[in-house]
Amino acid sequence: DTGVSQDPRHKITKRGQNVTFRCDPISEHNRLYWYRQTLGQGPEFLTYFQNEAQLEKSRLLSDRFSAERPKGSFSTLEIQRTEQGDSAMYLCASSLGADLYEQYFGPGTRLTVT
Amino acid sequence: EDQVTQSPEALRLQEGESSSLNCSYTVSGLRGLFWYRQDPGKGPEFLFTLYSAGEEKEKERLKATLTKKESFLHITAPKPEDSATYLCAVPNNSGGYQKVTFGIGTKLQVIP
């Protein structure tokens, strides 16, 4: 069973640059989530996809952030004009079904903005 | 707005010293509660789902319980490999399951 994978695992970028992260969910999971986690905090919800449709976005997701899930498979999260405050672990999770199903997380992408 | 509070924030135990972690929540209409384990630099690993008050689930040295106001994660005779941050989370109650609110976690250290 292949779990959720994320790429890259680590990204160091300079302030003002654009970055893109990829998430490959568990193959049969139709729901995909992005979270952000900073040191000493729990994951904070960013956005959610059901198949290819982005159904919910947090107010944490400024207009510099955009997420896609073409064809309902993998997803990408892009951050434009990165700021130092964007430094965090970006986590992707997927789940199965329309009701209360647990989410399975990937290993995360650690972003450092210098 | 849903709120999840975990205590203590950090806990240091001797190997074999049992204890409990607390998760209290404020939601209008609980639909369930999740427990996760997170190792440093890794994504959270799913442990349990509790669906209703009175429910209990066990896995190795861990046992999770749920009441109408809080959940406990009991750790019996812990080992050093149980050292991790334990997160609880509740799903949003507004008709869907799209959003989950996490607590900040309890960082557990088990000393040999």
Cβ distance of B46 and A102 shorter than 8 Å: yes
Task: Name the burial class of residue A26, with classes exposed (0-12), middle (13-18) and buried (19+) by CB atoms within 10 angstroms of its CB.
Answer: middle
What letter would DSSP give residue A84? G
Show which residues on chain B lie within 8 Å of chain A, measured between beta carbons: 4, 31-32, 34, 36, 41-46, 49, 51, 87, 89, 91, 96-105
pLDDT tens digits along B53-108 = 999 999 999 999 999 889 999 999 999 999 999 999 988 756 555 678 899 999 99
Percentage of residues in chain A having pLDDT higher than 70: 96
Q: What's the mean pLDDT when you consider all of chain B?
A: 92
How is B53-100 classified by DSSP, letter by letter? Answer: TT-EEEETTEEEEE-SSEEEEEE-S--GGG-EEEEEEEE--SSSSS-E
Q: Does residue A82 register a pLDDT over 60?
A: yes
pLDDT digits (tens, 9 = 90+) for A46-69: 998 989 999 888 888 889 999 999
Q: pLDDT tier at B28 (50, 70, 90 boundaries)?
A: confident
pLDDT band at A25 (very low <50, low <70, confident <90, very high): very high
Encode burial over A42-71: b for 16+ CB neighbours within 10 A, e otherwise: bbbbbbbbbeeebebebeebeeebebebee
Task: Give pLDDT, residue A1.
Answer: 55
* Residue B5 C-alpha from the chain's centroid: 10
Beta carbons within 10 angstroms of residue B45's beta carbon: 14
CB contact under 8 A, A42 and B87: yes
